[in-house]
């Protein structure tokens, strides 16, 4: 699939825009944390990927818990960085595999170290779409959008889709062009 992207930084002139060809499959990045919102986002992205023939890349931002512990905290409950990362990787891979409808192969999740906003924006730089989950909107809440969502939406290099659990429409299915145009199956008049 070939898609076109506009390069707005062309030095040719202030008004000129060059078009570059992108020949790889479209890529959908999904923020995935195992929350109900991120599960809804992953399921939506998998459905959208089937329609667009896109690759889904679930991204989990991870930070070692040892970095946030006091130096005087007991060592017995700590896991070393590598053990903790391996455990998180196993949990995320298992969760994504369990959520992926058959017969699709589960997408390979990316576990990247760092704060969620930085990790997601970094992966969105090379994506065609960023999908994030959100809790249901509450205008009376002091923070109606979560902090990660509020930071990613205005700064993302690609379009952002926000998915709320329980409000996801059933997956769309590809329809023959004749049905899509007329509303009737081909051959029915």
Of 40-54, 66-80, 97-111, 159-173, minimum mean pLDDT range: 66-80
Which comes out higher in pLDDT, residue 166 or 155?
155
Residue 134's pLDDT is 92
Rounded to the nearest angstrom, the gap between the alpha carbon of residue 163 and the centroid of all alpha carbons in its chain is: 10
Q: Which fold has domain 25-182?
A: Rossmann fold (3.40.50)
Domain ranges of the chain: 25-182
Instruction: Round to whole Å and give the CA distance between 118 and 111.
Output: 13
Contact 39, 91 (CB under 8 A): no
Which of 107, 84, 138 has its CA nearest to residue 32? 107
Q: What pLDDT, in 10s, does the model give residues 105-136?
A: 888 999 999 999 999 999 999 999 999 999 88
Residue 169's pLDDT is 56
Which of 98, 115, 114, 97 has its CA nearest to residue 106? 97
């Amino acid at each position: 699939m070939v898609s076109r992207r506009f390069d707005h930084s062309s030095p040719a002139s202030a008004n000129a825009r060059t078009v570059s060809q992108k020949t790889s499959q479209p890529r959908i990045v999904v923020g995935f944390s195992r929350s109900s919102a991120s599960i809804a986002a992953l399921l939506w992205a998998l459905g959208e990927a089937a329609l667009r023939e896109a690759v889904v890349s679930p991204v989990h931002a991870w930070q070692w818990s040892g970095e946030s512990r006091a130096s005087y905290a007991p060592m017995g409950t700590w896991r070393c960085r590598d053990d903790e990362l391996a455990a998180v990787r196993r949990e995320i891979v298992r969760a994504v595999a369990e959520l992926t409808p058959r017969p699709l192969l589960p997408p390979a999740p990316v576990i990247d170290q760092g704060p969620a906003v930085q990790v997601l924006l970094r992966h969105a730089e090379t994506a065609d779409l960023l999908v994030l989950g959100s809790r249901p909107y509450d205008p009376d809440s002091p923070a109606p959008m979560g902090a990660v969502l509020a930071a990613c939406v205005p700064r993302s290099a690609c379009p952002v889709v926000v998915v709320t659990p329980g409000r996801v429409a059933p997956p769309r299915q590809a329809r023959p062009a004749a049905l899509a145009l007329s509303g009737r199956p081909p051959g029915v008049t």
